Structure 1
Amino acid sequence: MSARGPVSGAVTLLVIAKEPVPGRVKTRLTPPYTPREAAALAQAALTDTLHTVLRAPARRRVLVLDGAPGPWLPPGFEVVRQESGGLDERIAAAFACCDREPALLLGMDTPQLTADLLAEAGHDGHDAWFGPAEDGGFWALGFADPGCAAALVRGVPMSTAHTGAAQRRRLVEAGLDVGDLPVLRDVDTAADAAEVAACCPPGSRFATVLDSLARAGR
């Protein structure tokens, strides 16, 4: 496949997320946190991510949401309903809402993300972008032509220690020139939350909420 990386600002940034409802998000944080506290951390992580995306150059910004938007959603985003099915199906469907321009999809679990890092994902010359996570998954996946996403994402085993390796292998075996992004840590456990908060930029909502819970004895 010929390289076709995006020019600055021409990329569509997709955020795939769940509405931060207690008992539905970040369940691995409970315990030590209550479902309501875990949802507060999830909301803070999502809000940080959305505001980071607003500061990054993009042609479109799209929230692919399981649930309903809340006051945490800033202006500037299109909202589309997240499809049902396994995570591979939901990711593939998210790319289907794009046209043939480059698109990069992010999760809601890396509030340490910066706009500069997202800008780096738009270099010319790559057919795909891949952001590995420390737990073996991935925090970002992008395609210069989102039309090829369905064939390259569907069927990848998700939520395993080998998900990222399997997904990247799919890209390489398809002949795509892959641009690798830095490894980031997802927030899944309380230990993850502490490590990620320490890496967050100043003013992070996630770090602020985690600190307030720590001061409350959590």
Structure 2
Amino acid sequence: MKNKKAYIIFTRIPTPNKCKTRLTPTYTGQEASALQADLLADLLVSVAKLPEKGIDILLAYSDEQEPTQFLASLPDYVTAFPQQGSNIGMRMANAFAEAFHRGYQQVVLTGSDLPQLTAATICQSFELLKEIVIGPSVDGGYYLIGAQQGIDLTPLFTAEIDWGHSTVLRETLRQVTGHDVQLLPAQVDVDVPTDLTTVKQQLDSHNQRLHQWFKEEQK
């Protein structure tokens, strides 16, 4: 560890029929898996310079398949570790705990399915972070959450929140009313086919792999 700030990418290993399943049957399991891989690849390129700005990049991966090949494909500026926990809340809680255990003082976590996410957004999240920072997603959830060391998010992640529903952000904000919470601008995370329709109209220069994915789908 050379920096005091950590950005965690929380991701599934791209695997047909085990990731982005809400995109089916509009897209096949193979197409959805390829999309997952391309979104992650674009994100890794986009945030590659963060360590130079004092932000280390960690990646917490889940257990869709044996990870050796996936880990070998990651850039050398990424430190990877497996997710631990029986549900997404506990897995996020444990990812934060892992980063704080490694000595980081500020930690921000996002998913990997965020075409609009750039290094500038991650830097902004750390600039805003006093106790907790949250990036709302347009579907009523959130795409980013961050905390200062000493802020225990475990009660939030273990609360009775309907993960994946449009009330996630509202329920989350209710859980953290006693803290200084800063909000980022909203972004789209790709969960369902209509999300792809939205982001296709807003592709930027950092979306090279996603742009290619759309081209392949048109053939």
TM range (shorter): 0.7 to 0.9
2:59–2:81 contact (8 Å) kept in structure 1: yes
Residue identity over aligned pairs, in percent, reads: 26
**Mind listing any 5+ residue stretches in structure 1 that lack a counterpart?**
1-8
TM-score when normalising by structure 1 = 0.86
Shift of 1:155: 1.6
Shift of 1:210: 1.7
Instruction: Output aligned runs, 1:37-52, within 5 Å.
Output: 37-52=31-46
- Provide the rounded CA distance (Å) in 1 between the counterparts of 2:150 and 2:185: 21
Matched, 1:169 2:174: yes
Corresponding position of 1:81 = 82
Corresponding position of 2:136 = 132
Amino acid in the other structure paired with 1:178: V
1:103–1:146 contact (8 Å) kept in structure 2: no
Matched, 1:17 2:18: no
Shift of 1:70: 4.7
Instruction: Output aligned runs, 1:1-218, within 5 Å.
Output: 10-56=4-50, 57-67=53-63, 68=67, 69-70=70-71, 72-99=73-100, 101-123=105-127, 126-145=130-149, 147-157=151-161, 158-172=163-177, 175-204=178-207, 205-214=209-218, 216=219
2:115–2:188 contact (8 Å) kept in structure 1: no
Question: In structure 2, the residue corresponding to 1:121 is in which secondary structure?
Answer: helix
1:110–1:196 contact (8 Å) kept in structure 2: no
- Provide the rounded CA distance (Å) in 1 between the counterparts of 2:39 and 2:111: 10
Q: Deviations over 1:71-90 (max 9, x none)?
A: 65222111111113111111
1:64–1:79 contact (8 Å) kept in structure 2: yes
RMSD of aligned alpha carbons: 1.9
Q: Deviations over 1:20-41 (max 9, x none)?
A: 0000011111122111111101
Structure 1 residues 124 and 195, CA gap change in structure 2 (3 angstroms): closer
2:141–2:167 contact (8 Å) kept in structure 1: yes
Question: In structure 1, the residue corresponding to 2:201 is in which secondary structure?
Answer: helix
2:71–2:80 contact (8 Å) kept in structure 1: no
- Provide the rounded CA distance (Å) in 2 between the counterparts of 1:135 and 1:198: 17
Structure 1 residues 143 and 166, CA gap change in structure 2 (3 angstroms): same
- Provide the rounded CA distance (Å) in 1 between the counterparts of 2:110 and 2:129: 21
- Provide the rounded CA distance (Å) in 1 between the counterparts of 2:150 and 2:194: 35
**Mind listing any 5+ residue stretches in structure 2 that lack a counterpart?**
none
- Provide the rounded CA distance (Å) in 1 between the counterparts of 2:30 and 2:90: 29
- Provide the rounded CA distance (Å) in 2 between the counterparts of 1:29 and 1:124: 33
Matched positions, count? 205
TM-score when normalising by structure 2 = 0.86
Farther-moved stretch of structure 1 (117-126 vs 99-108):
117-126
Amino acid in the other structure paired with 2:88: L
2:85–2:94 contact (8 Å) kept in structure 1: no
